[in-house]
A and B are shown apart, each in its own frame.
Chain A
Amino acid sequence: MASASAWMRSVTPPQGRSVATTESAAVRWLLVAVAVGFLLLFLLAPLVAVFAEAFSAGLGAFLAALVDPDALSAVCLTLLVAGIAVPLNTIFGIAAAWAIAKFNFFGKNLLVTLIDLPLAVSPVISGLIYVLLFGRSGYLGPWLAAHDIKILFAAPGIVLATMFITFPFVARELIPLMQAQGTDDEEAARGLGATGWQTFLRVTLPNIKWGVLYGIVLCNARAMGEFGAVSVVSGHIRGETNTMPLHVEILYNEYNTAAAFAVASLLAVLALVTLVLKTVLEWKSARAHARPDIATAEEVRV
């Protein structure tokens, strides 16, 4: 109880706020309790449940579920899909941000909205559009069948659906960042005789590196974890077209709960690593933008 009251006293307003612009201690404590309680119930309980269920049948069953050949092939496919989708979307994100942030052109707002489009589409619909395109009765289906090319219910379809879902992630991070940085540094580099590539590699890239990494981390988390879109295009062929989330679903629907949660716990670890990296990168980029030498450069420019 002593620690609880100590915790109550530790709920304080940030420094520099007068009594008139903050709430009484009781209100502050109540609001913090509501917020933390809500998050414990809604966010933390499911996360803890994943690990509790994963080990519910013992460590042996946990390990057995992970070294199962179907589980291993799901891990490999997930890595392959992310290994293709993330680099391509990163290149796209950098190119799109360069064109949008460094130049003025007609229709820029429309282009930014179109880039965000996949975020507004239900994952199931993202899968459906590729079925309509490549399916047996789809627009390209007969041609693909005639040439013996398999896209749907095979790895290429899964990669395409994942690329659609994770399409905006890097671009979204970089466009506002590069817009805020302006074009002065690049123009100075060009004025000093740098080529376009030199300008990009030596001036732009160091300025946006934390933003790029941030985008990659988010893109990768979604690419490895995507379920709805991938489930529509995969065909659920065990050991062949199952990614990790799909393997989790199959095990769960077979009432093999402990094994399902064992594979799910790997994905939960991925999520936790993502959260840690995200926090570190936010901290790094905040520091990079608050660097004193940049401030002086800003003053010199004025």
Chain B
Amino acid sequence: MKSRLQRRSVLPGFGLTMGFTLMYLSLIVLIPLSGLVLKSATMTWPAFWSTITEDRVLASLRLSFGGALIAATVNAVFGFVVAWVLVRYRFPGRRLVDALIDLPFALPTAVSGIALTAVYAPTGWLGRPLAALGIQAAYTPLGVVIAMTFVGLPFVVRTLQPALEDLDVEIEEAAASLGAGRFQAFVRVLLPALLPSLLTGFALAFSRAVGEYGSVIFIAGTTKTEIAPLVIVTKLEQYDYAGATAVALVMLVASFGLLFGINLLQRWSRRQHA
């Protein structure tokens, strides 16, 4: 009676829960997603190629991927400092800071978008001092990077925190007793041990930033700073379904490549901590 694929178990409900899981997964995720792949299969290769090599599309892909790369790098650096400080030091307000890290998860993206625009606009709290320095943040690629940094921050901090907590204090003691200074111990002992988690956090932040729409479009403005998701929306509004699908397919392939890479990274970091 038991399926060949399933280990003998005294627990009931495998058929019911597995059946429901597969049905729900297919209806909500797999069938709609395969519709996108089917739709793009109806396009000819030259039509697909000419769509994704349009100047406007290329520029938007460059901004989305380039901006995400910068934002994820900024997050890797500052996220590391934040995670380090939260795990290693005790200071007043630490718990509050720890809870605040998840704000970009919890705050709806449209709200983050208009709030960041208000702060970084030339009349805003941070936009005015920046403008005095001759830097315009809102409505420029810099604004796009700021919004992408905002949404990506929790990923780096939350992947690094458990890895930092798991680090054995003995390896640092060993490094110190062998004559390594703090900086040397950090670069030679701690950083290599944390590298898989740091890269995982970086990749997660990058992946989120590439696809981000709501928090970016307001601060990006409309003209020269178009991100790839906005191009998809614009093409949809012009009923250019094929064009929208082509751009979406490029982004989807990149996202799945990233997802695959992140899975490999996580396996690597689990092995390091095992």
Q: Which A residues contact B (CB, under 8 angstroms)?
A: 7, 10-14, 16-18, 20-24, 27-28, 31-32, 34-36, 38-39, 41-47, 49-50, 53, 88, 91-92, 95-96, 98-100, 102-107, 111, 113-118, 120-125, 128-133, 135, 137-139, 160, 163-164, 167, 183, 186-187, 190-191, 196, 199-200, 218, 221, 224-228, 231-232, 244-246, 248-249, 252, 257, 260-261, 264, 267-268, 270-272, 274-276, 278-279
Contact pick for A46, options B10, B18, B116, B259, CB 8 Å? B116
A228 and B244 in contact (CB under 8 A), knowing A38-B81, A115-B25? no
In the complex, the chain A residue whose C-beta lies closest to that of B267 is: A109
In the complex, the chain B residue whose C-beta lies closest to that of A277 is: B106
Interface SS majority for chain A: helix
Determine how close the nearest CB of chain A comes to the CB of B251; give it in whole angstroms: 6
Q: Are B103 and A10 in contact (CB under 8 A)?
A: no
Determine how close the nearest CB of chain B comes to the CB of A42; give it in whole angstroms: 6
A46 and B108 in contact (CB under 8 A), knowing A123-B229, A133-B35, A160-B28? no
Determine how close the nearest CB of chain B comes to the CB of A125; give it in whole angstroms: 5
Q: Are B114 and A128 in contact (CB under 8 A)?
A: no
Q: How many Å lie between the Cα of A225 and that of B111 in the bound state?
A: 9
Residues of A within 8 Å of B41, CB to CB, are none
In the complex, the chain B residue whose C-beta lies closest to that of A50 is: B115
Chain A to chain B contacts (Cβ below 8 Å), 17 pairs: A32-B91, A38-B81, A47-B107, A49-B119, A49-B125, A95-B20, A98-B13, A118-B29, A129-B35, A160-B28, A164-B29, A196-B11, A227-B213, A252-B218, A268-B107, A270-B106, A274-B106
Residues of B within 8 Å of A13, CB to CB, are 88-90
A96 and B211 in contact (CB under 8 A), knowing A120-B255, A225-B108? no
A196 and B109 in contact (CB under 8 A), knowing A104-B6, A114-B29? no
Q: Which B residues contact A (CB, under 8 angstroms)?
A: 3, 5-7, 9-14, 16-18, 20-21, 24-25, 28-33, 35-36, 38-39, 78, 81-82, 84-86, 88-93, 95, 97, 99-116, 118-119, 124-126, 146, 149-150, 153, 169, 172-173, 176-177, 182, 207, 210-214, 218, 228-230, 232-233, 236, 241, 244-245, 248, 251-252, 255-256, 258-259, 263
Interface SS majority for chain B: helix
Q: Are A96 and B252 in contact (CB under 8 A)?
A: no
Q: How many Å lie between the Cα of A10 and that of B10 in the bound state?
A: 55
7 closest A-B pairs (Cβ-Cβ)? A225-B108, A122-B211, A196-B12, A228-B213, A227-B214, A20-B176, A46-B115
Q: How many Å lie between the Cα of A88 and that of B230 in the bound state?
A: 30
Residues of B within 8 Å of A32, CB to CB, are 85, 89, 91
